[in-house]
Structure 1
């Protein structure tokens, strides 16, 4: 089908190979290049359409955004033109981010203004909630961990989105990442119409926003960065209740949204949402960084590894989403310097040392009774489960290390707090390190072969040249960690967070990386930063 873009056309649908509209006679091929296929949505200031770009090989899909001014007066057209150019410049400036659609073209044709953008295939958050039901607290935290770094990036470009809502957030089918669309509200908008009761973006001569999602200062024509924080908070309430702002009650004295009695969340998340939804902008979080910092006070990443709890009208059910394998939490710490030692040489040296220590361990009386089994983990590789007979506390391990001991193989070190410790060149082979806090620790050239590090905190740790063959790192937090020249073959990385990690020259497969969480700050084994 070919679709006519004439706003006054009474029957815009035409046969696929038609050159002109059979109803109004308008030319159907826009700018002799774009064939419009069907409408995608109607907003308060225009409409979007799916189209094929016949000017490129393969005729790829794209989105045509048509800005339709509500009046034809000269000053209205002039302001619409300024608006159009402003959105184009904004997309051109921030569109190089993987979670923002790329701007492909923009032009004016017969006093109609057009933007051509990258087509994002997927469901909006609004569609997801309607299809799957509301999200649990874990799901909302996961959502925030994906969108807050993007919002931080946008604000750093001195852009206020001003229309964040579930309908403007798409889960991209290709990689399950969240994409923020519709940047037409970034500045003053133009219309002569009243607000729409359907939840569409409302336009006045100066103010813009969706009623209920836009905070008071934004509707009073004084938007700030914190205005986007408020809209994001309202979006979270929708994810937890499936109710839009017009379905919620408001306190008549304060103007606050009355949502707390409708959700079941922890006090911690409740406090974060409450501050995001402060009516007074001075009491609200001022930046996405502040919200991220508040969320990181609670070690919620453990619960994220358990999956999202999705509730529906038919009852409650649990299911693990591939969202956990595709979230993007931005690391605030740059990767450390890359070493130049070869992986093969490092691996051989570690194997030799491990063989020596294991042989010595058969004759040394540590008082351990070892029973070893092998189980297949979720990525198909085998992980050794060793029952260990010796448990050390934090002080005992650090004291032993200071006295020169480097062999802690087969030890139970679960839940220890070793943050910032210097434990380089240590043998942790087959040790239990589940939920152990090793954040910022120096673990250079250490042996974690067949060790269990599930949900361990290894954020910003120095793991260069470390050996992880057959180690279990499921759900481990490796954000900002230095894994240069590390040996990760056969390691279980399902749900491991590698956002911002340095994997330069690391021995790791694409299949393993697909199971882990990465983002545009992750340095790949080839030394290049990015998602691909």
Structure 2
């Protein structure tokens, strides 16, 4: 560290060199609470200023120091601020989720108030979009699938975030995991009443959130859980268009006119528009409702994708013909299930629709190499669906969050690769080397893992529903929390080091 920041809000020159323990400008101590040293100002918002700091009591481990700033000298405003500070600390203390920075400490010192949180090295999504460009539909869906479970957890703790926006969602540099940050605006429902009683307080802005991302009921200081659903939907629109909600607002209706700025499927657009309903009664009421709606979208699109494959397949091997037959059968089952579900919801029986003559274009047949995959991934292009990547050497690559849906990966080498939350839906991974790979929460629904080497792989929380595991080597693999049944495991090779879905080891 080359600079130490003075945390005295009234200091005229807060930057100091590392050779002093007292501020050269105001003589305040530079070591907070006898252990924290602020080395960089991260930003301002919510209650005050946030700093990157070093915890000298934890071997110089990085942490975040949030300093509460009293915006008013009136006793009433100060009491309100202190009450909100205490509430935020209690709220953060009870949140225990691997996508929320953990509260490490909170205290009062020198008549100032501080929160200490875990530091996550990464970039917020606003900066990500400005530097790397807008998302495509597949990336936007992955974003929602990562964030909706976090929102579900937060709401289960009777907490409303109230300030979800691209700048408050951080992507960790090493793992690509998304973190919901800046809970300075988090308050329990009781806080709304407190703020309503004191509308002139300097902290009224905290209950409002960020203009454009906050729905009408929140701006009227009556937020509900669905208010966060709206903000998450508005964030998704920003990721797809690169435009702030205020630049997309229809002056007549107040709705976000976003669809002309991006290209997404009709079904996905319907989900997003329901998240963005101005009338809270018409909006999705919970994160679970959105998750359920999103689960239907991929099935309908997989159906369309399978039809495209059938119409364009001409020269195929016997193995490929078998694959197409399976895809066709699966697609028909999915089509029937979707049609019946829609009939049940609408109450009106429908007749099967004829496959349209004009179909979406297939992906161009570009032979991908490990170098091209690495280059595309680093540029933010993570959709490698329906590609032929058999026998490629991808050992040790960091491909977290990528999609290899329906790709041919026969004999591919992914040993020690980071495949956290990677999508292998219906992919052919027969004879692949996945030993010691990080496959935590990976999507392996209907994947073919026959004769694959998964020794020592981390499959915690992975979805292996209907995956083919015949003769797959799961020796020493971690399957804790994975979705896999006993029949699948019987067809695979396991040993005493294999950790089963219930967290226990195999016992003979």
Question: What TM-score, normalized to structure 1?
Answer: 0.62
Deviation at 1:501, TM superposition (A): 2.5
Deviation at 1:249, TM superposition (A): 3.1
- How many pairs were matched up? 377
The yes-or-no answer on 1:166 pairing with 2:150 is no
Seen in structure 2, the aligned counterparts of structure 1 residues 449 and 269 have a Cα distance that, compared at 3 Å, is: closer
Equivalent-residue separation in structure 2 for 1:482 and 1:137 (angstroms): 26
Pick from 5, 12, 15: which aligns with 1:13?
15
The residue that corresponds to 1:337 in the other structure is none
Deviation at 1:486, TM superposition (A): 8.0
Task: Provide the secondary structure at the position in 1 that maps to 2:296.
Answer: coil
Q: Deviation per CA, 1:40-62: give whole Å up to 9, x if none.
A: 01114301001111122x21000
The residue that corresponds to 1:421 in the other structure is none
The residue that corresponds to 2:297 in the other structure is 298
Seen in structure 2, the aligned counterparts of structure 1 residues 164 and 498 have a Cα distance that, compared at 3 Å, is: farther
Equivalent-residue separation in structure 2 for 1:182 and 1:117 (angstroms): 10
The residue that corresponds to 2:400 in the other structure is 325
Seen in structure 2, the aligned counterparts of structure 1 residues 248 and 122 have a Cα distance that, compared at 3 Å, is: same
The residue that corresponds to 1:118 in the other structure is 118
Equivalent-residue separation in structure 2 for 1:75 and 1:258 (angstroms): 42
The residue that corresponds to 1:276 in the other structure is 275
1:152-231 mapped onto 2 (5 Å cutoff) = 152-187=152-187, 188=191, 203-204=203-204, 207-231=207-231
Equivalent-residue separation in structure 1 for 2:211 and 2:444 (angstroms): 43
> Normalized per residue, which structure has more helix?
2
1:41-120 mapped onto 2 (5 Å cutoff) = 41-56=43-58, 58-94=59-95, 96-120=96-120
Deviation at 1:224, TM superposition (A): 0.4
CA contact (8 A) 1:469 1:490 kept: no
Gaps of 5+ in 1: 196-201, 308-315, 329-373, 382-432, 437-447, 460-465, 514-520, 528-532
Deviation at 1:479, TM superposition (A): 2.1
1:407-418 mapped onto 2 (5 Å cutoff) = none
Task: Provide the secondary structure at the position in 1 that maps to 2:185.
Answer: coil
Q: Deviation per CA, 1:223-253: give whole Å up to 9, x if none.
A: 000000000010011001111123223232x
The residue that corresponds to 1:311 in the other structure is none
Deviation at 1:136, TM superposition (A): 0.2
Question: What TM-score, normalized to structure 2?
Answer: 0.64
The yes-or-no answer on 1:379 pairing with 2:414 is yes
Higher gyration radius (CA)? 1
Equivalent-residue separation in structure 2 for 1:235 and 1:498 (angstroms): 32
Equivalent-residue separation in structure 2 for 1:97 and 1:152 (angstroms): 11
The residue that corresponds to 2:463 in the other structure is 479
Deviation at 1:113, TM superposition (A): 1.1
CA contact (8 A) 1:503 1:523 kept: no
The residue that corresponds to 1:367 in the other structure is none
Tell me whether 143-152 or 292-301 shows the greater mean CA deviation.
292-301
The yes-or-no answer on 1:236 pairing with 2:236 is yes
Seen in structure 2, the aligned counterparts of structure 1 residues 263 and 524 have a Cα distance that, compared at 3 Å, is: farther
CA contact (8 A) 2:142 2:401 kept: no
Equivalent-residue separation in structure 2 for 1:295 and 1:154 (angstroms): 20
The Cα RMSD (Å) is 4.4
Deviation at 1:523, TM superposition (A): 5.9
Task: Provide the secondary structure at the position in 2 that maps to 1:62.
Answer: strand
Deviation at 1:150, TM superposition (A): 0.9
CA contact (8 A) 1:35 1:54 kept: yes
Seen in structure 2, the aligned counterparts of structure 1 residues 317 and 22 have a Cα distance that, compared at 3 Å, is: closer
Deviation at 1:265, TM superposition (A): 0.7
Deviation at 1:380, TM superposition (A): 6.4
Seen in structure 2, the aligned counterparts of structure 1 residues 27 and 12 have a Cα distance that, compared at 3 Å, is: same
Equivalent-residue separation in structure 2 for 1:59 and 1:67 (angstroms): 23
Equivalent-residue separation in structure 1 for 2:152 and 2:398 (angstroms): 20
CA contact (8 A) 1:229 1:285 kept: yes
The residue that corresponds to 1:489 in the other structure is 473
Equivalent-residue separation in structure 2 for 1:481 and 1:319 (angstroms): 23
Equivalent-residue separation in structure 2 for 1:323 and 1:278 (angstroms): 38
The residue that corresponds to 1:445 in the other structure is none
Higher relative contact order (CA 8 A, sep 6+): 1
Seen in structure 2, the aligned counterparts of structure 1 residues 242 and 526 have a Cα distance that, compared at 3 Å, is: farther
Task: Provide the secondary structure at the position in 2 that maps to 1:123.
Answer: strand
Seen in structure 2, the aligned counterparts of structure 1 residues 256 and 24 have a Cα distance that, compared at 3 Å, is: same
Task: Provide the secondary structure at the position in 1 that maps to 2:67.
Answer: strand
Equivalent-residue separation in structure 2 for 1:260 and 1:183 (angstroms): 30
The yes-or-no answer on 1:260 pairing with 2:259 is yes
Deviation at 1:173, TM superposition (A): 2.0
Task: Provide the secondary structure at the position in 2 that maps to 1:296.
Answer: helix
Task: Provide the secondary structure at the position in 2 that maps to 1:275.
Answer: helix
Task: Provide the secondary structure at the position in 2 that maps to 1:104.
Answer: strand
CA contact (8 A) 1:507 1:525 kept: no
Seen in structure 2, the aligned counterparts of structure 1 residues 507 and 83 have a Cα distance that, compared at 3 Å, is: farther
Seen in structure 2, the aligned counterparts of structure 1 residues 28 and 294 have a Cα distance that, compared at 3 Å, is: same
Task: Provide the secondary structure at the position in 1 that maps to 2:298.
Answer: coil
CA contact (8 A) 2:126 2:167 kept: yes
CA contact (8 A) 1:251 1:258 kept: no
CA contact (8 A) 2:426 2:445 kept: no
The residue that corresponds to 1:410 in the other structure is none
Deviation at 1:19, TM superposition (A): 1.2
